[in-house]
Chains A and B, each alone.
Chain A
Amino acid sequence: MLVKRSSGKAPRGSLLRALSGDFNGAGNLESGVSRRGFLRRSGLAAGGIAAIGALPAAMIRRSEAGPVLPDVELVTRKNVCTHCSVGCTVIAEVQNGVWVGQEPGWESPINQGTHCAKGASVRELTKGTRRVKYPLKLVDGEWKRLSWDQAIEEIGTRLLEIRQASGPDAVFWLGSAKFSNEGAYLYRKLAAFWGTNNVDHQARICHSTTVAGVANTWGYGAMTNSYNDIQNSKALLIVGGNPAEAHPVSLQHMLRGKEHNRAPFIVIDPRFTRTAAHATEYVRIRPGTDIPIAWGLLWHIFENGWEDKEYIRQRVYGMDEIRAEVRKWTPEEVERVTGVPGSQVRRVAEAIARNKPSTVIWCMGITQHTVGTANVRALSILQLALGNIGVEGGGANIYRGHCNVQGATDFGLDVTTLPAYYGLAEGAWKHFGRVWDVDYDYLKGRFGSKDLMEAKGIPTTRWFDAVLARPDQIDQPSPLRAMVCFGHGGNTVTRMPEMIKGLEKLSLLVIADPHPTTFAAIKERRDGTYILPTCTQFETDGSRTCSNRSMQWGEKVVEPIFESKDDYTIMYLLARKLGFADEMFKHITVEETRPVPEDILREMNRGCLAIGATGQSPERLKMHMKHQADFDKITMRATSGPCAGDYYGLPWPCWGHPEIRHPGSAILYDTSKSVMDGGGGFRARFGVERNGVSLLADGSYPKGSEIEDGYPEFTMAVLRKLGWDKDLTPEEMRVVEAVGGGKTDEVSWQTDLSMGIIRVALKHGCVPYGNAKARAVAWSLPDPVPVHREPIYSPRPDLVKAYPAIEDRRDFRLVQLARSLQFKAAESDLRGKFPMVLTSGRLVEYEGGGEETRSNPWLAELQQSMFAEINRKDAERLGIRDGSWIWVHGPENAGRAKVRALVTDRVGTGTVFMPFHFSGQWQGDSLRRNYPPDTDPIVLGEPVNGVTTYGYDPVTFMQETKVTLCRVEPA
């Protein structure tokens, strides 16, 4: 069997058969047909090869890597890995414009020279054998080559036709967490100028619930500390995360913390992951019972008085309501619901309470649930009770997924907000109107109506529901008719059988990506798909934000290969064709057709005040990359050199103009430091008082603050009250008055484009966003106090009545079913037909939808087959042998997948685990021939999302990927 994770048996025979000098041989692996023979049979070879043959040599850039040549100049360039959010520095050696060698980036304080399998293989991306080489169009099931001009012309014309007939909201703009910050911001701006809020990206399906959950608790939706800071932790609690596979380089810091501090390293997960293999304590829970385990831990903490009472008094609102809910979660009830013995829960509670500071780390095991936001809030509250937020070694260390998912979220690739979380209300549009120097009325005119301009768009988890919906089922003038998709896999969203129906019905699909993606290889769709070859971040430059909010500038390593272009250029070409390039690029230099990323970042610096993304000028970011060696490897603070005093990558908030040299904030809400040193309190975001109780901090304030208590966010009114308005310069005052337009008092730190209000607050040692309490009770959410709710397809129908899903509701322009579906499933004894729980997750070798990594021979060789992990006892009972083919059936849409069985104790009995990186096979059939010629990934497999089911978080419409039911049968 070719699945490597058996037990170290070297699969020599099969691999060697596949070896034919080049990885063309990989085509052999699944079908036994040679790649050449396959092409002949599919009739694709002739067109494809002829097309390449006809190209003038200069049009196609193909890099030939070989040895480093002795007498040719070797240039070293610095960029950042394009896979996960750790942000590893990549050192590229370039000769004759070809990336010939990859060296360790020793100086980077984050990865310190190291990589995982993906990072160590990124050079292959610019060799790009399987990349999309020129623009393509699908005509009656055949891929035809186009010129760039023709492609943009045709796409633009069809988009304008759709706009004319059905309005701007009929187009769905799907962006990417693989954009640079500048690309993400520009794409959001593109959607705004097009006139829709239907613009989203991968954050929806990875950490949207984290962002909503923690932002609603203490102000900002981001990791509070950093990977490096985990070395200061005295205990580590990892819940619903497998960083050993998803963020391997972070383990460097975690294992150092574990070893240096002899820290308890506790993993709570339904699956004994590779991270759990290094834990001091592993807790196996039933999938979907994270809130019961969090409240179970808190039960012991409250029972024994281990909470930080003074911290709660000064900095937390509403903990008493939490106590009331936690009281229900006695050890007996926790064991009944989660399956974890009471003694183990107590041991873990004591370990994290007595070894402080302790950190909590989570990932998709927490977020991708129908209760994702509530899960996030429960863990946040656990950390608040222990007083672990805003301290070194503590924190909520939330590992984001893609390389720039934090940045793409920050800069507004989101259906609910403009860049920097300004929201969609009139004030937000007016603010960005000023930043972009366009009239508010012009922007309003671009939209279908003012209501649509201020209404949340359709999220990426449900776009196909919005295609298939009848006009009366959807809260916008027309169902979706077109999708423009930049850098996003097609197999990462649940309910694929229905997604395929949606794809079939779309009249236009545009894919801008280095690889064709799953969207291109769907045999039901035969016309109206365009593919635009887009280069990777190694072929352009721009900044990206790691999970810890550090921004790193990546330098172009090589020119875009083949005919590919970078995101900025493609967006400019589209905007020009769609007729708003002049307005959109008013203050951004465009060189020929390429907008200059430095200029885009400067515009972002001018406007993104609300997260403190203003001090990270391109010049400062480049200086940080150049002087990486000056930064401390644990505090991430430069001790010498031109960046002395700065935190690496100026993690936001980095207040004010770059010239005031705010160092960035390595740890959020840290009152032990002064604000100009990166300190702060919780954000005053939810008002000043509720039900007669103050929401402002009580006697807690950042070091050196002139106000030694809580205070609201800074506005002109607040400045006047304090008498600090006199500190504003006349120039700043002039801007404030211009922004206020007669209502000067309402101008806040977020809208004052002079940044004078921020400057004055800092001068007095205050945080511009105020100094408040964190909210244990978030009254604006559907569940103000997190409560356990069984998954929709629960394996415990007996618990459904006691812990029901939320009521059916409407949001995001669509209907959301929940309780009705759950009760129906429980009453019809679905579990009888689908007796096992299906959960999904990551592998170290692949990333996201996997097209990019499965096309990389160095990675593809390591994982050659899609598989399902199934417990030894279940396998025995079902007569399934390790490595044999099985069918996994899901309860909706006759979903099924044919995969290999991996028999292991890694999963508990009754649980099946499948990785989500595979696609290109569908219900037993190969879709290899549906890819454009020479772009099919080396390894194909069945997508797990062919089996996953309905279920969405009420706050963000995050999809449920971690708990559904399934049935396994030998194939």
Chain B
Amino acid sequence: MARMKFLCDAERCIECNACVTACKNEHEVPWGINRRRVVTLDDGVPGERSISMACMHCNDPPCAAVCPVDCFIQTADGVVLHSKDLCIGCGYCFYACPFGAPQYPQTTNFGSRGKMDKCTFCAGGPEADGSVEEYQKYGSNRLAEGKLPLCAEMCSTRALMAGDGEVLADIYQERSARRGYGSGAAGWSVAYGQHDRGSPFAPGGPSTGGA
């Protein structure tokens, strides 16, 4: 079984925000909820790099570890989904997540923030695949149709990739070796642990700056 992962190659990311609007388009995500966003470091100075960030669908998701109602599910593909029926909007997952993925429709100092929303890897939720109920709560389920997340499919420079982690690592490694440098594939090690594939050009490897 494939293990689904995201990988963002910061050497390629130009902060065009295609991933962000593709996500909005595909799932009709309302104003104010950002399942994916592009973060830029060292903005405006040499060394500026951008990375596209959303839920990374971690191996050992810290959101699930802290959820008081245990609303998270990890699918056989490694995709981290959650149940909006169970979610109480406490916001713990927001504090636990290293990537700022969980989003809420309300801001309050006390009480519920509303049902948490986040990237589903375009895999819907616990409801039946492709059902109207699933769409209304979580957006469309592309994975069930044999398609990958639209953000990665539409990425203008093929910086953001999604799919089987092994395949992504091979693509990234070949790309880094060919150009002679990498960017470490930000977030890769945090989300998926050490990933020593014996190559300095592998995601998280020493020749790509590590990450």
Q: Are A and B subunits of one complex? A: yes
The CA of A857 and the CA of B50, in the complex, are separated in Å by 23
- Which of the candidate stretches A252-260, A362-370, A636-644 sits at the interface with the other chain? A252-260
Closest to A106 in B: B153
- Which of the candidate stretches B36-44, B165-173, B198-206 sits at the interface with the other chain? B36-44
Q: Which residues of A123-161 are within 8 A (CB) of B? A: 123-124
Given A22, A248, A258, A259, which contacts B30 in the complex, CB threshold below 8 Å?
A: A22
Give the chain A neighbours of B12 by CB distance below 8 A: 255
Give the chain A neighbours of B155 by CB distance below 8 A: 114
Q: Which residues of A100-131 are within 8 A (CB) of B? A: 101-104, 113-121, 123-124
Tell me how far the C-beta of A20 lies from the nearest C-beta in chain B, rounded to whole angstroms: 8
- Which of the candidate stretches B60-68, B71-79, B129-137, B187-195 sits at the interface with the other chain? B129-137
Q: Does A878 contact B (CB under 8 A)?
A: no
Query: B40 to A858, Cβ gap below 8 A?
Result: no
Query: B100 to A844, Cβ gap below 8 A?
Result: no
Query: B18 to A858, Cβ gap below 8 A?
Result: no
Query: B14 to A862, Cβ gap below 8 A?
Result: no
Q: Does B146 contact A (CB under 8 A)?
A: no
Query: B180 to A117, Cβ gap below 8 A?
Result: no
The CA of A969 and the CA of B78, in the complex, are separated in Å by 54
The CA of A121 and the CA of B50, in the complex, are separated in Å by 21
For B, the interface residue count at a CB cutoff of 8 angstroms equals 53
Q: Which residues of B19-60 are within 8 A (CB) of A? A: 19-22, 24-26, 28, 30-34, 37, 39-41, 43-46, 48-50
Query: A104 to B154, Cβ gap below 8 A?
Result: yes
Query: A244 to B43, Cβ gap below 8 A?
Result: no
Closest to B33 in A: A19
Do A114 and B105 form a contact, CB below 8 Å, given A251-B156, A252-B157, A904-B44? no
Give the chain B neighbours of A8 by CB distance below 8 A: 39-41, 43
Give the chain B neighbours of A115 by CB distance below 8 A: 18, 22, 154, 156
Query: B30 to A116, Cβ gap below 8 A?
Result: no
The CA of A837 and the CA of B50, in the complex, are separated in Å by 28
The CA of A67 and the CA of B139, in the complex, are separated in Å by 8
The CA of A70 and the CA of B22, in the complex, are separated in Å by 22
For A, the interface residue count at a CB cutoff of 8 angstroms equals 66
Q: Does A169 contact B (CB under 8 A)?
A: no
Query: A15 to B32, Cβ gap below 8 A?
Result: yes
Given A7, A21, A117, A262, which contacts B18 in the complex, CB threshold below 8 Å?
A: A117
Given A19, A103, A117, which contacts B17 in the complex, CB threshold below 8 Å?
A: A117
The CA of A906 and the CA of B14, in the complex, are separated in Å by 15
Query: A114 to B31, Cβ gap below 8 A?
Result: no
The CA of A66 and the CA of B26, in the complex, are separated in Å by 10
Query: B156 to A252, Cβ gap below 8 A?
Result: yes
Give the chain A neighbours of B28 by CB distance below 8 A: 65-66
Q: Which residues of A228-274 are within 8 A (CB) of B? A: 244-245, 248-249, 251-252, 255, 258-260, 262, 272, 274
Residue of B21, B46, B153 with highest tally of chain A CB at under 10 A: B21
Query: B31 to A19, Cβ gap below 8 A?
Result: yes
Tell me how far the C-beta of A1 lies from the nearest C-beta in chain B, rounded to whole angstroms: 13
Query: A120 to B44, Cβ gap below 8 A?
Result: no
Tell me how far the C-beta of B183 lies from the nearest C-beta in chain A, rounded to whole angstroms: 11
Query: A120 to B31, Cβ gap below 8 A?
Result: no
Tell me how far the C-beta of B89 lies from the nearest C-beta in chain A, rounded to whole angstroms: 13
Q: Does A16 contact B (CB under 8 A)?
A: yes
Query: A120 to B34, Cβ gap below 8 A?
Result: no
Tell me how far the C-beta of B14 lies from the nearest C-beta in chain A, rounded to whole angstroms: 4
Q: Does A859 contact B (CB under 8 A)?
A: yes
Tell me how far the C-beta of B33 lies from the nearest C-beta in chain A, rounded to whole angstroms: 7
Contact with A along B78-119 (1 / 0, CB 8 A): 000000000000000000000010001111000000000000
Given B19, B25, B105, B175, which contacts A102 in the complex, CB threshold below 8 Å?
A: B25
Query: A121 to B14, Cβ gap below 8 A?
Result: no
Query: B20 to A114, Cβ gap below 8 A?
Result: no
Query: A861 to B18, Cβ gap below 8 A?
Result: no
Closest to A860 in B: B31
Query: B158 to A862, Cβ gap below 8 A?
Result: no
Contact with B along A857-869 (1 / 0, CB 8 A): 1110110000001
Tell me how far the C-beta of B175 lies from the nearest C-beta in chain A, rounded to whole angstroms: 7
Query: A272 to B135, Cβ gap below 8 A?
Result: no
Q: Does B16 contact A (CB under 8 A)?
A: yes
Give the chain B neighbours of A245 by CB distance below 8 A: 14, 16
Do A67 and B132 form a contact, CB below 8 Å, given A114-B18, A252-B156? yes
Residue of A16, A18, A275 with highest tally of chain B CB at under 10 A: A16
Given A104, A116, A121, which contacts B153 in the complex, CB threshold below 8 Å?
A: A104
Query: A858 to B21, Cβ gap below 8 A?
Result: yes
Q: Does A26 contact B (CB under 8 A)?
A: yes
Residue of B16, B18, B147, B180 with highest tally of chain A CB at under 10 A: B16
Residue of A8, A21, A275 with highest tally of chain B CB at under 10 A: A8
Given B104, B130, B136, B153, which contacts A113 in the complex, CB threshold below 8 Å?
A: B153
Query: A123 to B25, Cβ gap below 8 A?
Result: yes
The CA of A15 and the CA of B25, in the complex, are separated in Å by 18
Query: B14 to A274, Cβ gap below 8 A?
Result: yes
Query: A845 to B17, Cβ gap below 8 A?
Result: yes
Q: Does A33 contact B (CB under 8 A)?
A: no
Tell me how far the C-beta of B11 lies from the nearest C-beta in chain A, rounded to whole angstroms: 8
Closest to B108 in A: A16
Query: A862 to B175, Cβ gap below 8 A?
Result: no
Give the chain B neighbours of A712 by CB distance below 8 A: none
The CA of A115 and the CA of B19, in the complex, are separated in Å by 9
Q: Does A885 contact B (CB under 8 A)?
A: no
Query: B25 to A120, Cβ gap below 8 A?
Result: yes
Residue of A13, A274, A275, A282 with highest tally of chain B CB at under 10 A: A274
Q: Does A5 contact B (CB under 8 A)?
A: yes
Query: A260 to B15, Cβ gap below 8 A?
Result: no
Q: Does A30 contact B (CB under 8 A)?
A: no
Known A114-B157, A120-B154, A904-B43; 15 more pairs at CB < 8 Å: A5-B43, A15-B31, A16-B104, A19-B32, A67-B135, A120-B18, A121-B24, A123-B25, A251-B156, A262-B180, A858-B20, A858-B24, A861-B31, A862-B20, A906-B43
Report 9 cross-chain contacts, Cβ distance below 8 Å, ordered by A residue. Answer: A7-B40, A114-B18, A114-B154, A117-B17, A119-B18, A274-B15, A845-B17, A862-B17, A869-B44
